[in-house]
Amino acid sequence: MRSAVILVKNGIGFGHIRRALLIAEALQHAGRIRPVIISQASSLALYQATSVRVVNFPLLHRVPSAITEDFYTDLMNRVLERLSPAVVIEDTYPDARYRHLAALIDRPRILVMRRLDETSFDRIRERGDFAHYDRILIAQDERDFRQEEHSPESLAAIEYGSQFAFVGNIFATASSADIADVRRAYTSTRPLIVVNGGAGGDQMPDGYGDRLFNACSQVAAALAEEGNPARFVFVTGPYYAGRPLHPTENVEVRRFEPRLSALLAAADVAVIKPGNNALSETLAGQARLILVPDVSFMEGLDEHAERVASRYDGSVGEPSRASLEPLIREALIRPPRVERVGPSRAAIDAVVREVHRMADQSSRPSIQPKSLLLMLFPPGHGDAESIRKCLPRELEDAVVVGDGGPAVRFGQILPSMSTGPRAVVVGADTRGIQPQELVEAGVQLLIHGRESAPVARWLRLHPPSPALLSISAEFVVARVESAERVHRRLARLLERSASAVLVLDLGGMPTEELPTYLQLVGSWLSAQPVQLVNLQAIVSASAARLLERKD
């Protein structure tokens, strides 16, 4: 059986490894490909009961000597060479180390990416790091993603390109029985407050964990003093390095709770760092949310916490008694949260499908012929429909501009009923219309001549969102006697690049000559290693350019 390797690193939390395990276990269950996790982690705690194969390395960027780092990198490469994976799955952060491993070069690659803040997403895109993946599966709800403030270019790359797909959040969901069991184990009768700061690691030396748990200890002591029945469970995480925490009558301390997802779902009040997993697991239950953001790596937790609190009627606090005590007291008297995130296998199933598809595809690579988007301007005396009628079979995929189809000239009205991507052919005169109006009319692509400076300036002055893609085209005026010149132009154009756009202006062509002329062009093209492509293909290719490195 062929292998799929899942490359994952954990820094200060467990989220990446939990996600990798969920994917690997689903792949193993499907039985078509053998998953192997290659991890870089300082704890094996989550692997205790796994049914998948794992090779764990230390975090290579933290290995204290260069020679040992080289040793590990070399060994990882040799192990991967022997595993010869049909598909490589990476988690969230594109890693140059993996990119340069000889054993992984030319393997199909998938990036499964949980939520990143907007700036980090842009930075990764502009560095060109997304361009190394065949598919990028965003493990986040699409609606949530769109509510964040992503740049127009990132939105365009995702919306119009073919690399990205939203699969939805991937997290562990506890069964109702597990939730009931864990609830019984901690308390059946008293209000249950669960406090968790992820796996307990610190991103910065700011004592977040120490402050969070000690603040909650003080709140618990104050409530106990008053005879408040609330019971606290502190799940500190194995990396917790704050002051020792003492259990009391109303506080239980756990360094590691393997049933944390059930415990969070069973809580009445959850005081948590809103990392991806703890938050998702809490949202599966009805706990009132108190989110205590910490400095994060590429997650922008402050803004994220505000958004989540606003959507789920929770609150955002700081890791101090002054901040948390009133929030906890208030949460204890509020009714349970109504909106919950239901368990779903859809996200994991989507990843499994993609891995299978990629593994099947990888056995038969193919080289695409050169692509040409041929756009036809109809003659002044004939309408677009009459041009379409006399198109030879070889030119059936040409786009007739302004025929009620997907492309018009600048200033013409786009038909409201057409579906799929739309394009506008634009010259130097961009007066009277704003780019955002085109976006709202469904336009994704601007096609312009070689002189693109006025169009670029117009876009710069009025940036739309998502960004409008733009591509340069060759413009040729058709002449009865000059079909061969069009052939030469195309040959020259496609000699230099894999794809091109040609706008053929049939404006001066007499009606009776049109069929013959188009037949000449069509016959010649059909004998060349060129395929006529539609707008969708050009839009996807243009969106992919947004993933290339900006120097």
Partner 1 sequence: MTDDSAPLVVEPMTILVCAFHVRRDDRLDSLADDIVALLEPDGTVLDLSRFDRRADVVELRKIDRRPKERR
Residues that bind partner 1 (CB under 8 A): 28, 36, 41-45, 47-48, 50-58, 63-65, 67-68, 71-72, 74-75, 78-79, 81-83, 236, 238-240, 244-247, 253, 255-256
* Nearest CB to partner 1, comparing residues 71 and 451: 71
Q: Cβ of residue 75: shortest distance to partner 1, in angstroms? A: 6
The CA–CA distances, whole Å, from 166 to 6, 255, 435 equal 19, 34, 27
CB 408 within 8 A of CB 434: no
Q: Cβ of residue 53: shortest distance to partner 1, in angstroms? A: 5
* Nearest CB to partner 1, comparing residues 262 and 401: 262
* Nearest CB to partner 1, comparing residues 56 and 436: 56
List, in sequence order, the alpha helices (H) in 127-247: 142-147, 152-160, 176-186, 208-226
Residue 19's contacts (CB-CB under 8 Å, 6 or more residues apart) are 8, 91, 112, 114, 139, 170, 171, 277
Q: Which pairing describes strands 469-472 and 474-477: parallel, antiparallel, or unpaired?
A: unpaired
* Nearest CB to partner 1, comparing residues 207 and 238: 238
Residue 329: CA count within 13 A, CB half-sphere: 14
CA 472 to CA 161: how far, in whole Å? 18
Structure tokens at 141: 């709800």
Q: Cβ of residue 449: shortest distance to partner 1, in angstroms? A: 56
Rg for the chain, CA atoms, rounded:
29
Q: Cβ of residue 107: shortest distance to partner 1, in angstroms? A: 17
In the block, residue with structure tokens 């049914």: 51
Q: How many CB atoms lie within 10 A of CB 437?
A: 12
The CA–CA distances, whole Å, from 311 to 117, 475, 476 equal 18, 51, 54
Q: Cβ of residue 79: shortest distance to partner 1, in angstroms? A: 5
φ/ψ of 300, rounded to 5, equals 50, 55
Q: Cβ of residue 444: shortest distance to partner 1, in angstroms? A: 46
Q: Cβ of residue 76: shortest distance to partner 1, in angstroms? A: 9
* Nearest CB to partner 1, comparing residues 245 and 445: 245
* Nearest CB to partner 1, comparing residues 236 and 430: 236
DSSP state of 248: B
* Nearest CB to partner 1, comparing residues 31 and 335: 31
Q: Cβ of residue 229: shortest distance to partner 1, in angstroms? A: 23
* Nearest CB to partner 1, comparing residues 55 and 165: 55
The CA–CA distances, whole Å, from 101 to 86, 127, 199 equal 15, 19, 30
Q: How many CB atoms lie within 10 A of CB 326?
A: 13
Q: Which of 213, 215, 216 is nearest to 241 (CA)?
A: 213
CA 298 to CA 531: how far, in whole Å? 42
DSSP state of 46: G
Q: Which of 139, 308, 324, 142 is nearest to 222 (CA)?
A: 324
* Nearest CB to partner 1, comparing residues 72 and 524: 72
Q: Cβ of residue 255: shortest distance to partner 1, in angstroms? A: 5
Q: How many CB atoms lie within 10 A of CB 333?
A: 8
CA 296 to CA 548: how far, in whole Å? 26
Q: Cβ of residue 78: shortest distance to partner 1, in angstroms? A: 4
* Nearest CB to partner 1, comparing residues 104 and 425: 104
Q: Cβ of residue 55: shortest distance to partner 1, in angstroms? A: 5
CB 305 within 8 A of CB 327: no
* Nearest CB to partner 1, comparing residues 231 and 337: 231
Structure tokens at 281: 């697991």
